[in-house]
Amino acid sequence: MRKWIGEGRISADSMVWCEGWEDWRSGGEVFPYLRSAGTPAALTPAPVTYAPSTPGPNARGRGYPNRRRSSLALAITTVVVLGLMSVALLITLILVLNHS
């Protein structure tokens, strides 16, 4: 975020979100120094402390991606695809060796 703020990609009007938050917030709300017009964008922002990410009561169905769940699904899909490819290669090897 600091890099993006320094590059001018985040302004007081930008909407930002962090895992564990129920809704998006404005950049000016999260980073108050963005609200002052005279502050250069290259200033290093004060560190922002976030609470541990625990899903709130409305966390499901709000349209926010769950990174852990999607990375787990990707890992499982990768293992299944590699397993199927291994079986196909093993069958091909057996057919080639029996055909010789």
Domain ranges of the chain: 1-61, 65-100
| Number of residues that make up the chain | 100
CA distance 21 to 64: 10
Q: What is the pTM of this model?
A: 0.35
Candidate from 14-18, 52-56, 76-80, 88-92 with smallest mean pLDDT: 52-56
Over the chain, what is the mean pLDDT? 76
CA distance 50 to 38: 27
Candidate from 17-21, 50-54, 94-98 with smallest mean pLDDT: 50-54
pLDDT (tens digit per residue) in 35-68: 775 445 445 555 555 555 555 555 555 555 555 5
CA distance 69 to 97: 42
Region of residue 61 (phi > 0: left; psi between -120 and 50: alpha; otherwise: beta): left
